[in-house]
Amino acid sequence: MSSQTNTNPLALPITLALSKGRIFDETLPLLAAAGIEVSENPETSRKLIIGTSNPMVRLIIVRASDVPTYVEYGAADLGIAGKDVLIEHASDHPGGLYQPIDLNIARCKLCVAVRKGFDYSSAVKQGARLRVATKYVNAAREHFAAKGVYVDLIKLYGSMELAPLVGLADAIVDLVSTGNTLKANDLVAVEDIVEISSRLIVNRASLKTRHAELQPLLDAFEQASRSHAAS
Ligand code: AMP
């Protein structure tokens, strides 16, 4: 992107918000394909603002669920967030973010899971209220409303798998990747709600005011994600 990079020394670098862990790890090859090397590993450095080999591009490391907020308010021009996080954010902030590219990384499914032996189909047929524990309350509410199932949603922030084991809930709505976590806790997935992958999101104002700087980066992400999907 050098020919179109803003060389004004006072200009702020393009800021990309993302979370540590799987999304960060799977984003590195996409950045490398765009010719961008990251200068530090956030797992070891504890720094929250990380430079790159391109002085006009920096990363900020935030909680996964905060990525849409940083981008929506323009503290970051770009972000990478799972569709799970974007569904929850969009329920409270509709239309706030431009989502141009499915990066095809950090893929998994949002599922309903219950204890092995729990008769889920009878429970939802009987018209009784189902107690569902989840971090994804908006996605869960929409899913069960579409099925016409009455639910009491219990908001949790982690370790959802525990809830059916200790009587907090009949079912959970959680992300499933390999299925190992469910299996280790004697749970089974009984319904898929939606396929999840991470998306590039863009601040709407940046898209207009920094279009020339952003476009080569968007093109590089698009191309890298297409070859990632094909591999
Ligand atoms: P697994 O045992 O591979 O099915 O992974 C399930 C656990 O990892 C659950 O606790 C999920 O919340 C979490 N998880 C799986 N995939 C993702 C993802 N793409 N992003 C964030 N968390 C995930």
Residues 222 and 146 in one domain: no
Residue 197: CB within 6 Å of ligand 1?
no
Q: Are strands 78-82 and 14-18 parallel, antiparallel or unpaired?
A: parallel
Percent of the chain residues topping a pLDDT of 70? 95
Residues 142 and 30 in one domain: no
Residue 159: CB within 6 Å of ligand 1?
no
Percent of the chain residues topping a pLDDT of 90? 84
- The Cα 187–Cα 56 span in angstroms is 47
Residues 98 and 172 in one domain: no
Residues 151 and 188 in one domain: yes
Indicate if the pLDDT at residue 196 is higher than 80: yes
- The Cα 90–Cα 209 span in angstroms is 23
As given in the structure block, the two tokens for residue 75 are 């503290």
Residues 67 and 167 in one domain: no
> With bands split at pLDDT 50, 70 and 90, how would you rate the model's confidence at 9?
low
Residues 126 and 179 in one domain: yes
Tell me the CA–centroid distance for residue 121 and ligand 1, in Å: 25
Closest listed residue to residue 101, CA positions, set 85, 84, 80: 80
Residues 114 and 183 in one domain: yes
pLDDT at 2: 42
Residues 43 and 33 in one domain: yes
Residue 181: CB within 6 Å of ligand 1?
yes
Kindly report the average pLDDT of the chain as a whole number. 92
Q: Are 20 and 38 in contact (CB under 8 A)?
A: no
Number of domains in the chain: 2
Tell me the CA–centroid distance for residue 85 and ligand 1, in Å: 13
3-class DSSP state for residue 58? strand
Residues 175 and 202 in one domain: no
pLDDT at 11: 79
Task: Determine the structural domain holding residue 45 and report its residue range.
Answer: 3-106+197-230
pLDDT digits (tens, 9 = 90+) for 65-75: 999 999 999 99
Atom 23, ligand 1: which residue's CA is nearest? 175
Q: Are 59 and 50 in contact (CB under 8 A)?
A: yes
pLDDT digits (tens, 9 = 90+) for 74-129: 999 999 999 999 999 998 888 889 988 999 999 999 999 999 999 999 999 877 89
Q: What is the CATH number of the domain that holds 131?
A: 3.40.190.10
C-alpha gyration radius of the chain: 20
Q: Whole-prediction pTM value?
A: 0.91
Q: At which residue do the structure tokens 């907090």 appear?
A: 168
- The Cα 140–Cα 146 span in angstroms is 10
Residues 179 and 204 in one domain: no
Which residues have C-beta within 8 Å of that of residue 6, sequence separation ≥ 6?
A: 56, 210, 212, 213
Tell me the CA–centroid distance for residue 105 and ligand 1, in Å: 13
- The Cα 221–Cα 191 span in angstroms is 32
Q: Are 204 and 134 in contact (CB under 8 A)?
A: no
CB neighbours of residue 15 within 10 Å: 20
- The Cα 44–Cα 187 span in angstroms is 34
Residue 178: CB within 6 Å of ligand 1?
yes
Give mean pLDDT, residues 127-149. 94
Give mean pLDDT, residues 174-180. 98
pLDDT digits (tens, 9 = 90+) for 28-46: 999 998 899 999 998 899 9
Residues 9 and 84 in one domain: yes
Residues 190 and 152 in one domain: yes
